[in-house]
Chain A
Amino acid sequence: MHPLNWAIVIGWLTYVVIYGIRRSRGATSIDAYLQANRSLPWWAVGLSVMATQLSAVTMIGTTGQGATDGMRFIQFYFGLPVAMVILGVTLVPFLHGSGVYTAYEYLERRFDAKTRSLTAFLFLISRGLSCGTIVAAPAVVFSAIFGWPVSWSVALIGVPAVLYTIIGGVQAVTWVDVKQMYLIVGALVAVVITLLVQIPVSPHEALQVAGAAGRLRVFDFSFSLTNTYTFWSGVIGGMFLMLSYFGTDQSQVQRYLAAKSVDEARTSLLISAYWKIPLQALVLLVGVLVFVFYQFHKQPLLFNPAQERAVMAVAPGEYAQLQARFDSSHVLFERDAIRGTALSLAARITHQPVKDVNYVIPRFVLDHMPIGLAGLFIAAVIAAAMNAISGELNSLSTTTTIDFYRRWIRSDAPDAHFLMVSRAATGLWGIFACVVATYAVNLGSLIEVVNKYGSFFYGSILGVFLLAMLPRARANGAFIGLLIGMSAVYSVWHWAPAVSFLWYNVVGAMTVFVVGALLSVFGSRDTQRTADPSRRSG
């Protein structure tokens, strides 16, 4: 990459760390560190919620998906606005009003300690590992493109993010997220403009090319439990997923708990609902336009340069023959078939999973974007990864400190002690995420298992929170319901593996709610608790 591009990347990283540390002034108590003294304005919280979600996977994976598969992926988000509205009138007032640090703390007030600890533990396991995969995705791509070790890329992304998160807590994380969102949107717009300038036909003709190749097919109204990207999967399955994610995942809940008031908290969630679908449409459109661009310019047969080098070293004749056939073909299906053969060849030679889709945009940016703008885009990918990891580290630290350390180990220490523990927990989770990211490339199947395991209990945890809103729901009903809900999801995964993971959330939430409600009505009477907004207990 050109030195000017590197200067932009390094300049941005330095600026972000300095800005994060400057914004951490006043983070001298546990309230300030974990909740910014509930002082953040709605628009900053809203942008931060969006930024935490928009990881580097979105910047390189989703754009790549737009190039290879078109716009239909956007249906995944159709349930999000409805979910935000439901949360705005139900869970947000509950959680914000009860004065808790974590969503799971509320569950102890409503039910009991074991329900709180189990849900918090499931969050730590899934989010801790997902933090590693969030860093690993861009790190693997960068190491293949720039030809350096994965650990260097992990350090480039992880060290600045961990640094400002340790020092500034949620305050630094939120304000850095806001700045980085501007960079990300600016970089995406820059790519769109570059593409429109470089595609040698009018935008209308470019869209005709994309449409003829099926890349602009957005809606699929068929009802299928096995297809993730249909209108109904998005609206129903997606809505349950978003309810679980925004309503019960501490990485999101912590953001709106830091808002000034309930009103500002729910307004911040609606901001996410405002922009999520248009922003995802822009991200996918970037990919679609890259596809059009390569219909008029020479396209690499393999986008992953590391695999391209490996194939050319081991089977130069076979690869050159495929490349020649690919270059001379003008039929889309034929070109796709030749690319498929090249991908199989790469997988056979490198013995590694071929995820060529993740390299489409980075290759376009580095080969065709003007100097300066390419650096801006790479900085935006790193920014997206940092936003996601910093938000998650902050929430992992909060759950570790509040739901485990303060609840089970030491409940009566001074404020400064908990602040120190929170910072130490942030650092430890940061190291854990970087270690997982470094070795994730060799743990491909394990990471897949972990991701699948994550969706086993996401909907079930939502079921517990839904149950919490039923006045007659009891602690044992909630706990047993949670276990049965996770078992039900496991059964679906085991006996009907073709069912899309989006439906796991529906199965989990509904099972917990129905079983928990029945057990509460017909089961033994245990203590019922209610939230007391004035209490701030361990």
Chain B
Amino acid sequence: MIKIKNSSALLLSTALLAGTTLFNSSEVNAEFGDIVINNYSDKAGMRPVIFPHWFHRIRFRCKICHSDLGFEFKAGGNKINMLKIISGKYCGACHNGKIAWSVENCNLCHSAKAGTPTQVHKNTLQTLVRDKKQN
């Protein structure tokens, strides 16, 4: 039977673990329809905001946000800031502790990597340009 000293075996397995993480591409592959909003976050030194459409679509129909609450169909086009949210507009209409969790939870919205630009993830034009660059 193979006789391996414990410490070197552990080293080997951690090295392999590190090796396999290198195989992960740095390709951005978030959910289709994830909106990154970075109008003011970089300037304020906060992580940009990620709005996941899929999560909200399961619980609310498009009409509620885009007609009743007045969200425009434009990433970054609503100029949302903390004042508006705390006053109960935009995100604050639900994230007030009653319909959804309260806006105290900074990290749940401000969750993107620093510097990620405002975008609608995986929209048709982004896919076109991305594929062009790859090829």
- Tell me if chain B binds chain A: no
